[in-house]
């Protein structure tokens, strides 16, 4: 029999992705021993906090959390404040500041709004981190949606290169409602992984390398989401019901087959 954690992940892959947070909470209530592993391995839409010293919004996830406080990438302070919260080493924090500046530009260029946050932490043979991006279109609009990117990576230092491992999740939620259409909700998430070796001269190279990997990955995932959300979903509806009468479609196909076979004779 499968491990309970595998069954929990299988269940979350099937239930409505829009309710993922509620479903995770429910599974934890039913089997509290799964809590730690579920919170680590399931991506939920990112929540937003305001950094009180810089007055800038930042994104929260398990990686900038210490107890019930979250570290701001802008000030390195925890919100709400705590004593001796875990912060990165000086070298890693320097890189983190650079990465946050770079992804703030990235965010503006691709999302034209929204919020970005990058968190880095020290590892024995290098460092690891996550790049978070979130954008919601106006919730009062008839056509609304939200995009959450969660890119988690680690970088292993080697001679003049580094080996990067990136796991990316995009949570995309779209909804629309009108008299003619009724209600429509199209929500979900997709996950992809990639590994790559890239040249490293100094810590600035790391920021550029991670930037390139995330940019390539988001381009790939955006195309994939477009294909699944608007291509695949529409095709399945067409498989369930045909607008043109099937007798006409079948007759056309028959005629086509006869033409092809008469030509090949």
Q: Which of residues 29-88 bind other proteins (CB under 8 A)?
A: 29-31, 34
Are the beta carbons of 244 and 252 closer than 8 angstroms? no
List, in sequence order, the alpha helices (H) in 193-245.
203-226, 233-240
Residues 151-170 that bind other proteins (CB under 8 A): none
Q: Which of 166, 174, 200, 217 binds other proteins (CB under 8 A)?
A: 174
Q: Which of 36, 66, 125, 185 binds other proteins (CB under 8 A)?
A: 185
Residues 108-137 that bind other proteins (CB under 8 A): 108-113, 135, 137
Q: What character string, x for contact with other proteins (CB under 8 A) and - otherwise, covers 199-238?
A: --------xxx-xx--x--xx--xx-xx-xxx-xxx-xx-
Q: Which is nearer to other proteins, 159 or 243 (CB)?
A: 243
Structure tokens given for 168? 């990316």
Q: What is the distance between the alpha carbons of residues 194 and 256, in angstroms, rounded to a whole number?
A: 44
Q: Which is nearer to other proteins, 37 or 65 (CB)?
A: 37
**In the bound complex, what is the minimum distance in angstroms from residue 59's beta carbon to other proteins?**
16
Q: Is 262 in the site for other proteins (CB under 8 A)?
A: no
Q: Which of 45, 85, 126, 145 binds other proteins (CB under 8 A)?
A: 145
**Residue 84 region, left (φ>0) first, then alpha (ψ -120 to 50), else beta?**
left
Q: What is the distance between the alpha carbons of residues 131 and 234, in angstroms, rounded to a whole number?
A: 32
DSSP 157-192: EETTEEEEEEEEEEEEEEEEEETTTEEEEEEEEEEE
Q: What is the distance between the alpha carbons of residues 131 and 116, in angstroms, rounded to a whole number?
A: 8
Q: Which is nearer to other proteins, 72 or 187 (CB)?
A: 187
**In the bound complex, what is the minimum distance in angstroms from residue 85's beta carbon to other proteins?**
28
């Amino acid at each position: 029999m499968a491990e309970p954690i595998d069954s929990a992940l299988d269940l979350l892959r099937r239930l409505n992705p829009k309710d993922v947070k509620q479903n995770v909470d429910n599974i934890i209530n039913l089997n509290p021993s799964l809590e730690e592993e579920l919170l680590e391995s399931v991506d939920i839409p990112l929540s937003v906090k305001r950094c009180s010293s810089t007055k800038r919004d930042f994104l929260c996830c398990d990686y900038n959390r210490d107890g019930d406080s979250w570290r701001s990438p802008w000030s390195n302070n925890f919100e709400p404040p705590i004593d001796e919260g875990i912060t990165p080493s000086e070298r890693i924090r320097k890189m983190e500041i650079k990465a946050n500046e770079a992804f703030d530009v990235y965010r503006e260029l691709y999302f034209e709004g929204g919020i970005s946050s990058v968190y880095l932490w020290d590892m024995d043979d290098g460092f690891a981190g996550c790049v978070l991006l979130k954008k919601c279109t106006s919730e009062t609009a008839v056509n609304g949606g939200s995009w959450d990117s969660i890119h988690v990576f680690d970088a292993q230092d080697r001679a003049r290169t580094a080996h990067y491992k990136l796991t990316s999740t995009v949570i995309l939620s779209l909804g629309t409602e009108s008299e003619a259409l009724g209600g429509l909700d199209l929500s979900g998430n997709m996950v992809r992984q990639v590994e790559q070796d890239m040249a490293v001269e100094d810590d600035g190279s790391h920021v550029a390398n991670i930037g390139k990997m995330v940019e390539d990955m988001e381009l790939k995932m955006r195309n994939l989401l477009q294909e699944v959300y608007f291509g695949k979903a529409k095709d399945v509806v067409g498989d369930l019901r045909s607008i043109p009468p099937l007798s006409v479609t079948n007759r056309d196909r028959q005629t086509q087959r006869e033409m092809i076979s008469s030509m090949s004779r």
